[in-house]
Chains A and B, each alone.
Chain A
Amino acid sequence: MRLAAVKPVSRVLARELAVTALLLAGVSVVVFAILYLAPGDPLHALGVREAQGMPRTWHGQYAAWFGKVLQGNFGNSIRTGLPVLPELARVGVNTLYLTLGALALTLAIAVPIAVHAAAHGDTAGNTAATIGAYILSALPVFWLGYIVVYVFIHQFGMFPLISGTAAKQPHAWLYFLVPIFVLGTASGTLSEMIRHLREELSRVLAEDYIRTARAKGARVWRHAFKEGFLIPASEIMSAKIPFLLGGAVIVEQVFNWPGMGRMAWQAAQDRDFPVIMGIALVAAAFVRLGNLLQRVVFTAVNPRASQE
């Protein structure tokens, strides 16, 4: 079984890598098109037009720009004059902590509710939990952030009141938990995760092979795990990465968190094209990476997918 799955994974991986490369090329075209059409000639600031011998047609400019991007040369920030890519790597780590932590927290809340709801149907507790998740997801993230700061930091003093930009202090990591909590519970991810996991799991639990497993006394969870949990969970996680990155823009703004989202906000304020362009490209690459991982999990769990 395990050996049989090896070959399809490598073959599908090659196909998915090709698709990912094609999509990343598309991403670069979209970003280039926006910069190309923008007034004030941002491509000039990126050094694509002014240098000697640079072609002046749009496709020539695209080739020059894309070549630079491939070499990791995203230009220099207009505001600070620093090269963009090292700056992004520096702050990107903070965004990574924030989004991965939030994803883990969302899963930790969503999975028990979804599994319980799928296994036991509509009980009063399930309905209440689902509606609660709906309400939490519709709460504006920025307001929830202030509430959490007021209640947990100002009122109860449970967390240190420092920002992510402050010098290192003892227990400073505790502060990480506050923005992670806000991003993980709000921003619309939670209710959709619960709904998706619940729908998929209850669909699988109603399948014939689960009934057979139940009839012969086998463990239902072992049979339902792959199709009913692993695949939907990886699907929804990869689908929610862009939303978490978008939510990070706001949460980082509320908590003065030195990440890519706050940098994107600053760059949009200053019309700092190289920075916001770099952030868009890096974020899209992250999303594609998550999607690639999801496809790998899907193929590993379901080798038939390779024969489509």
Chain B
Amino acid sequence: MARYVQAHMTVAGIAELPLFRRAETLDLLYIGYGLTVVVLVLASYLAGAFGWLPHDAQAINVALLNAPPFTPGHALGTDFLGRDLLSRLVLGIQAYFLPGLLSVALAIVGGSVLGVLAGWRGGWWDTLITYLANLLDSFPRLVLILLVIAAFKPDIYYVMVVVGITSMPVIANLVAGKIAFLRQKSFIEAAHALGLPGHTVILKHILWFNCRALLVIQATLGMAEAILIETSLSYLGFGVQEPTPSWGNMVLSGANYFLQGNFWPSTAPALAILATILGFQLLGDGLNNLLEGKRRR
């Protein structure tokens, strides 16, 4: 498996510019868009959690079914029961937000621990973690999740634990590669010479000072993955169930009206999924290009 290799930033002049000055315009656009999405999702999550919605997300209005956007009183229109789409979209974030954070946290913590073991101890640990990575890569993630659902229960937290565990090896591999690169650096040698204990060197000088950016990038990409899994599962009927909105089950229920020409109730959540996943992915890629020095050419 190819190891991540740190690109050398040797041109001193470039390295001294402030971060945003040396970025490519496209990367800045990616990051700007991604940050906007993150802020919107966070704000909407809080709004949903405190119940600050334009309408009751469950209130049925049979006089106004499948209304188009910009209907007075319903900025994004209504669904097949006349429920306000904007409120349901905002409330739908509840379905993936905390579970997604859980899976990301699990992946980051577990991946860092495994990565430190592989990179710092090396040898046997390295072999073991490569083996685990290949083992978990063998399963199509959705099939493994369906197996867990069949064996235990269709609970989003079980699913997200599976997602978190299967994401660990990638992060472990990146962290281990970074450590293999950093070990030969003189500042690590100096830290040892100063008599700093091993855990200080690992936690502070390696993980905090040098792997922070990498972990943030992996966290954003992991969140995109978690949203994709949650929406896919609630589309398949294993996630949040109908009266409670989730973007996946909104696409599913709206799709029943597709062939009648009512695209909007299904398309609005689909666009929300698209915009959000794209935001997290572009944020991760943009940060990766900017902070980790992975240039396109």
- Residues on A facing B (Cβ under 8 Å): 19, 22-23, 26-27, 30-31, 34-35, 37-39, 42, 121-122, 127, 134-135, 138-143, 146, 149-150, 154, 188, 198-199, 202, 206, 239, 242-243, 245-247, 249-250, 253, 264-265, 267-269, 271-273, 276-277, 279-280, 283-284, 287-288, 291
Q: Which of B137, B148, B232 contacts A242 (CB 8 A)?
A: B137
- A131 and B251 CA atoms in complex are apart in Å by 24
Bound Cα distance A135, B281 (Å): 10
Q: A22-B131, A138-B278, A150-B259 are in contact. Are A273 and B151 (CB under 8 A)?
A: yes
Per-position 1/0 for B15-34, Cβ under 8 A of A: 00000000000100000000
Would A287 and B138 count as touching, CB distance under 8 A? yes
C-alpha gap A150/B267 in the complex (Å) = 13
| Residue of B135, B140, B151 with most chain A CB atoms under a 10 A cut-off | B140
Query: Which of B50-58, B108-116, B269-277 has 4 or more CB atoms under 8 Å from chain A?
Result: B269-277
CA of A269 to CA of B233 in the docked complex: distance in angstroms?
A: 12
| Alpha-carbon distance between A269 and B26 when the two chains are bound, in angstroms | 44
- Are A38 and B238 touching (Cβ within 8 A)? no
Please tell me if the beta carbons of B138 and A27 are within 8 angstroms of each other in the complex: yes
User: CB distance B135 to A23 under 8 Å?
Assistant: yes
Residues in B whose Cβ lies below 8 Å from that of A35: 151
Which residues of the partner chain B approach A272 to less than 8 Å between Cβ atoms? 150
* A276 in contact with B273 (CB, 8 Å): no
With A121-B297, A284-B138 in contact, is A34–B147 under 8 Å at CB? yes
Nearest CB of chain A from residue B30's CB, rounded to whole Å: 9
Interface size class of B (residues with CB under 8 A): 35 or more
Q: Are B140 and A134 in contact (CB under 8 A)?
A: no
Which residue, A134, A135, A149, has most C-beta atoms of chain B within 10 A? A134
Q: In the complex, are the beta carbons of A268 and B134 less than 8 A apart?
A: no
- Contact for B235 among A38, A140, A206, CB less than 8 A: A140
Chain A nearest CB from B166 CB (Å) reads 10
Q: A27-B135, A134-B282, A283-B140 are in contact. Are A142 and B232 (CB under 8 A)?
A: yes
Bound-state CA distance A93–B252 (Å) is: 28
CB neighbours of A31 from chain B (8 A): 147
The residue of chain A having its C-beta at the shortest distance from the C-beta of B142 within the complex is A246
Residue in B closest to A153 when the chains form the complex, CB atoms: B259
Contacts A23-B138, A246-B140, A279-B143 hold; do A34 and B148 have CB atoms under 8 A apart? yes
Q: How far is the CA of A267 from the CA of B238 in the complex (A)?
A: 12
Count how many pairs of residues, one from A and one from B, have CB atoms less than 8 Å apart in the complex.
143
Residues of B within 8 A of A (CB): 26, 131, 134-135, 137-144, 146-152, 154, 228, 231-232, 235-238, 248, 251-252, 255, 258-259, 263, 266-267, 270, 273-274, 277-278, 281-282, 296-297
Q: How far, in whole Å, are A48 and B134 apart by their CA atoms in the complex?
A: 28
Q: How far is the CB of A147 from chain B (nearest CB, A)?
A: 8
Q: Are A146 and B255 in contact (CB under 8 A)?
A: yes
User: Contact at A283–B143, with CB atoms within 8 Å?
Assistant: yes
- The reply to whether B144 and A202 contact each other, CB–CB distance below 8 Å, is no
Q: Roughly how many angstroms separate A274 CA and B50 CA in the complex, as a whole number?
A: 44
Interface majority SS (helix, strand, loop, mixed), chain A = helix
Contact (Cβ within 8 A) A143 B251 = yes
Contact of A268 among B139, B150, B228, B266 (CB under 8 A): B150
For A242, the chain B residues whose CB sits under 8 A away are 137-141
CB of B143 within 8 A of CB of A26, answer no
Report B-chain residues with C-beta under 8 Å of the C-beta of A138: 273-274, 277-278, 281
Question: Which partner residue on chain A sits nearest B135 by CB separation?
Answer: A26
List, sorted by A's number, 7 A–B pairs whose CB atoms are closer than 8 Å: A19-B134, A34-B151, A38-B152, A39-B152, A139-B274, A280-B139, A287-B137
Contacts of A135 in B (CB 8 A): 274, 278
B135→A134 contact, CB < 8 A = no
Closest A residue to B149 using CB positions: A268
Point out the residues of chain B lying under 8 angstroms from A146, CB to CB: 255, 258, 266
Whether the pair A288, B147 counts as a contact (CB closer than 8 A) is: no
A265–B137 Cα distance when bound, in Å, is 20
Instruction: Tell me the smallest distance from the CB of B185 to a CB of chain A, in Å.
Output: 24
CA distance A199 to B5 in the complex (A): 14
In the complex, which of the residues A149, A199, A267, A283 contacts B139, with contact meaning CB atoms closer than 8 Å?
Answer: A283
A277 to B281: give the CA distance in the assembly, Å.
32
Residue ID in chain A nearest B235 by CB atoms: A142
Asked if A23 and B134 sit within 8 Å, CB to CB, the answer is yes
Contact A246 B236 (CB under 8 A): no
Cα distance A135–B271 when bound, in Å? 11
The interface residues of chain A lying within 8 Å CB-to-CB of B281 are 134, 138
Cα A22 to Cα B297 with chains together (Å):
39
Contact, CB under 8 Å: B138 / A288: yes
Contact residues in A for B270 (Cβ distance below 8 Å) = 139-140, 143
A276 with B266: in contact, given A27-B138, A140-B274 (CB under 8 Å)?
Answer: no
Closest to A26 in B: B135
Shortest Cβ-Cβ A-B pairs, 6 listed: A38-B151, A143-B270, A246-B142, A246-B140, A245-B140, A268-B146
Contact of B297 among A42, A122, A150, A249 (CB under 8 A): A122
Q: Specify which chain B residues have a CB less than 8 angstroms from the CB of A291 in the assembled complex.
A: 134
B297, A280: Cβ atoms under 8 Å? no
Residues of A within 8 A of B146 (CB): 249, 264-265, 267-268, 276
